[in-house]
Structure formats: structure tokens, C-alpha cells
Amino acid sequence: MRRPLLLVGLLLALVAADRPPGLGDVADIRVFDHDTHTRVVIELSREVDYEVNQLAQPPRLYVDIDGVWLDGPLAAVRERGGATPVRRVRGGQNTLTRARVVLELDGPERGYRVFHLRDPFRIVADIYRQGASAPPRREKPPGVDAFDTRPVQRIVVDAGHGGKDPGALGVDRLREKDVVLRISRELAAQLRRDGFEAVLTRDRDEFLTLQQRTQRANQLDADLFISVHANASPNRRTSGVETYLLDTRYDRQTARVAARENGTSVGELSELQKILASLRLGYNERFAARVAGSVHDALVSGLRKRYGSVEDLGVKRGPFLVLFQADMPAILVEVGFVSNRAEGKRLASRDFARTAAHSIARGVRAYRDQHARSLVAGR
């Protein structure tokens, strides 16, 4: 009986101990359930070293985090209801200078992956459901563990909507899902000719959830995610090209576009969606902004060269759910308005699909070259 009593004594001593100076904080612990896995996000006040271990009896995964303090409500047990691979999450101070977050699992040998994001620094643990496994990670050179430290090569092209979801409906029964599939096929083919590895989220008329789209990009460990869409407006005179990246800030026009692409109403762009979007801001943002600017400029100039006057609606930011879960720089491109008669006629043509695709690919090439130069310069 001496060992249990000793452990209890050590635990009580830790609880009663004063916090040592110089430690960072566990700022938050968040849990999200998805179709194939549960995601636990541990947000820290600064960059830290951490270690991950899995135990079988009882089944659990724990993350030891050096140089931080965890107490108060964040240390409380989080009970998980329903059929999720994580039964409960709990935390505490393992030593005076090390915090521990424990994920109690619903069974042994659960597939998982753990990685980190910066600005703010977050440790992310994905625990996969029974029958699912952690996605394979492609081989990387030693020491390379983040998209911003490797060349841009693997790109996932997402044709928006599809299947039971036609997207925006335009003049002469033009459907957004058909327009963007044609462009996305052309774009993937052009990217391959340019030496990229390009993968389509859908290559036919099928319905995919927003989560399934970015999930495939994450599973493939992609370097970029480009979601292709076409716009619509009650004002039939409205036309032009705009490109979006993820943000919580948005104006009334962006809210309308985001609501349509999210499959919600403007009134349902709730605080929850703002919170979800904020989880992805920071680390990816500056790279997404560079991709968006490069692609947008190339698309506008390419369409103007082919068709003359094309309205430049700019690069904007908004709470697009299809971008939220991407682990890499992600943008959403609105190539034109199906509701505008002149622009809709262009969008229905294969010539437009080729022109738009080749222009977007040119923007991606420009970003790849810029990114390669920044790798050499070390910034």
C-alpha cells in the first residue's frame, strides 16, 4: 500500500505547491467531433516542447507539455457523450514544470496523429474511430515537418457543390456545380503539366460535405487547397472575379457569399462560426494571403487578356467553412457570376474553363516560385 499512498502524496503536494516563475500557460483545451475522428486542440501561450505516449491498460493517449502550468477549469474532466473515440479528456500538473493532458479512449489501438500549429502555438491530436486509421503522411526530408518548410508540390483542387447540391443557379439554367467541375478538371490537368501533383476532391457530379473536401486534402498532406466556385447575385448586372481566404472579419457582401457557400442563411453566420474560423487564423494566414493574391491577379489579368473588360472585385476574407479545416494554405476562388447574362454565357463555355484554369495555374506557379525563393532566403 505504500506506492499508492506515495502517489497520492505527490499529487497533493503538486496541487498545494506554488506555481514556479517563468512558466507558460495552457490557454485552452477544445474538443471537436468529426465523421472519422475526434480532434483535441491544446492551445499554449508560447511555443513548447511536448511528448506523446499511448497506453493500453486502460486505453489512453497522453501529451506531456514542458514549461507550462495547467490548473483551474481547464484541468476539469470533460466527459464525452455519444459514439466517439475519446471518452473523456482531463488535465493536470504532472510535475512542477510539466503539464499533462490525458485522452481516455473507447478502445485499444486507436489510430491517431499529433502535430502542432503556430501563432498561436497549438498541439492538435486527431483520434480516429474504429475502422478508420490515421491518414498516411508522405515522406519528407529529415527535419521537415511543416508545409512552409518544404516546396509547393501537392495541390488539392476542389470543385464546389455537386450531386444534390447544384450551387448557384444562373441564366439559361446554368448550374454552378457544372461550371466549376469543368474548370477544376482543366486546372488539375494544367497543374500536372506544370510539374505539380494535383488531386481533385471530385471528378464527377457527386455530393461531398464541406468536411469531406478538406479532409481529403489533410489526408494527402497537401501543400495548397484551392476551392473553385461561381457567384450569383439578385442584381443581374453584378459581375466580376473575387478570391477569399479564411477570416472572422467580413462585410455584408462577403456574408452573403459565405452563407451561400456554407449552405446557411446570412443570419446563421453565428458566433460559433467565428470561433471555428479563428482556430485556423495566424499560422496559415500569411501564406494563404500570398496564394490568394497571386492567383487572383493572374486570373483577372488572364481573363482580361482573353475577354477584355473584367471586373476585379479583389481579395477578401470571410468565414468559409470549406477553408476552416484545411491544415495548409487554403483559398476559395469565385470565377464569375452565373446570374449575369454576359458572364454566364462565358462561364458555360469550354473556352472560359481553359482560360480560367490556365490563369489560376499561372498564379500557383508564381506562388511556388516566390515560396521557393523564401525557403532559400530562410523567411
CATH numeric code, 20-128: 2.60.40.3500
**What's the order of all strands across the beta sheet hosting 37-44?**
68-69, 24-33, 37-44, 122-128, 112-117
Question: Per residue in 62-87, pLDDT tens?
Answer: 999 999 999 888 888 888 877 789 99
Q: Please report how the helices 350-377 and 285-307 are oriented relative to each other, as an axis angle in degrees rounded to 10.
A: 140
Give the C-alpha separation, 344 to 338, whole Å: 4
pLDDT-derived band of residue 44, with 50, 70 and 90 as boundaries?
Answer: very high
pLDDT of residue 312: 97
H or E element, residue 315: strand 312-318
Q: Which of 119-128, 341-350, 360-369 has the lowest mean pLDDT?
A: 119-128
C-alpha cell at 71: 490548473
CATH numeric code, 147-377: 3.40.630.40
DSSP summary character for residue 165: B
Residue 127 pLDDT greater than 50, yes or no: yes
The C-alpha angle with vertex 186 and arms to 185 and 187, in degrees rounded to 5, equals 90
Mean pLDDT within 135-162: 70
Residue 5 pLDDT greater than 70, yes or no: no
pLDDT of residue 164: 95
Residue 341 pLDDT greater than 60, yes or no: yes
pLDDT of residue 77: 87
Residue 174 pLDDT greater than 90, yes or no: yes
Give the C-alpha separation, 187 to 193, whole Å: 10
pLDDT of residue 205: 96
Q: Are 108 and 130 in contact (CB under 8 A)?
A: no
C-alpha cell at 309: 473588360
pLDDT of residue 270: 55
Mean pLDDT within 98-123: 85
pLDDT of residue 268: 54
Give residue 326's identity as a one-letter amino acid code: A
More confidently predicted of 259 and 142: 259
pLDDT of residue 185: 96
pLDDT-derived band of residue 254, with 50, 70 and 90 as boundaries?
Answer: confident
pLDDT of residue 305: 97
Residue 344 pLDDT greater than 90, yes or no: yes
pLDDT of residue 7: 41
What does the domain layout of the chain look like in residue ranges? 20-128, 147-377
Mean pLDDT within 201-211: 91
C-alpha cell at 12: 497533493
Mean pLDDT within 125-135: 73
The C-alpha angle with vertex 341 and arms to 323 and 311, in degrees rounded to 5, equals 55
Residue 146 pLDDT greater than 70, yes or no: no
Label the pairing between strands 154-159 and 224-231. parallel
More confidently predicted of 362 and 54: 362
**Averaged confidence pLDDT in the chain:** 84
Residue 274 pLDDT greater than 80, yes or no: no
pLDDT-derived band of residue 49, with 50, 70 and 90 as boundaries?
Answer: very high
Q: Are 200 and 206 in contact (CB under 8 A)?
A: no
pLDDT-derived band of residue 347, with 50, 70 and 90 as boundaries?
Answer: very high
Please spell the DSSP secondary structure of 15-78, one letter per residue: HHSPPPTT-EEEEEEEEEE-SSEEEEEEEESS---EEEEEETTTTEEEEEEETEE--GGGGS-E
Mean pLDDT within 210-238: 91
pLDDT-derived band of residue 313, with 50, 70 and 90 as boundaries?
Answer: very high
Instruction: Tell me the percentage of the chain whose pLDDT exceeds 70.
Output: 81
Question: What are the φ and ψ backbone dihedral angles of 227, each rounded to 5 degrees?
Answer: -100, 125
Mean pLDDT within 84-107: 92
C-alpha cell at 42: 491544446
Residue 238 pLDDT greater than 90, yes or no: yes
C-alpha cell at 132: 478508420
pLDDT of residue 140: 46
